[in-house]
Structure 1
Amino acid sequence: MDKRHLDEEQLRESLGDVAYHVTREKGTELPFSHPYDHLFDEGIYVDVITKEVLFLSKDKFDSGCGWPAFSKTAPDAPIKEQSDTRYGMIRTEVETETTHLGHVFNDGPKEAGGLRYCINGASIEFIPKEDMEKRGYGSWLNCL
């Protein structure tokens, strides 16, 4: 269910404290703390708030960084990038209209374009391939 209609209090209740902190307050979950870090099943990853498709399982790889990593975004994913200079670092933050996702770095697999989208697991939801049709994502099956 798309959660864009919820007010901030309802959204916090719906997401839980960690996901709310990550998605709305630009927080970061602890490394190696989210099960998606080591999930490599076929499917898609959607924005936890809007349910828009962001990443495909075929582009996920084990970067060893402690967060889910992807070499690229899904076609037409509503992801935008902006400079992040917090904590004395210069990084590129990735987010959607409603959701902080994580950062993108230039140290990904060269054969896949060289990018590593380092994404907080709490900001995305995994939809397994076998559930995609019934969840309304059937048109994405040919992308896997």
Structure 2
Amino acid sequence: MAEATDRHPPVPTAVTVPVTHTGGQYAIRIETGRYRSLGETLHQTFGSRPRAVVIVSNPRVARHYASAVVERVAAAGFHPHLCLIPDGERYKTLRTVARIWDFCVARRIERRDLLVALGAVSWATSPALPQRRTCADWRSFSSPQPCWQ
């Protein structure tokens, strides 16, 4: 936990949310500063089974963190794909989810690959979205294309 001050109560630095559904269960991990060790954590958790990681973010968040996340994910042996979506509540729709899905299909993302939400796109953790992939292309990050184009 982060330290409390006179003005603010202590803030947890990490929270794990267990999710159980008819097909099984998984955990969503929310942690301050997690992007710094994301590649290592994914490798420790999933080994080398997933080959690709789709990183869903918006331009505002990506501007600050995407380079570091992509670098660390690639260093851990994965093929990162950055999928940018518009910023704002009005884009948190099924239409945007469909565009993320199209982005994944175009890159041949498979069930064994990973999908990571970077920033405030919590609805992107839905089990309905693909959770992993193969046959990635580094160029997909070097010239990221917004999912909505």
Specify the TM-score bucket, using the shorter chain as the normaliser: under 0.3
Structure number with the higher helix fraction is: 2
Structure number with the higher strand fraction is: 1
Q: Which has the larger radius of gyration?
A: 2
Q: TM-score, normalised by structure 1?
A: 0.25
Q: TM-score, normalised by structure 2?
A: 0.24
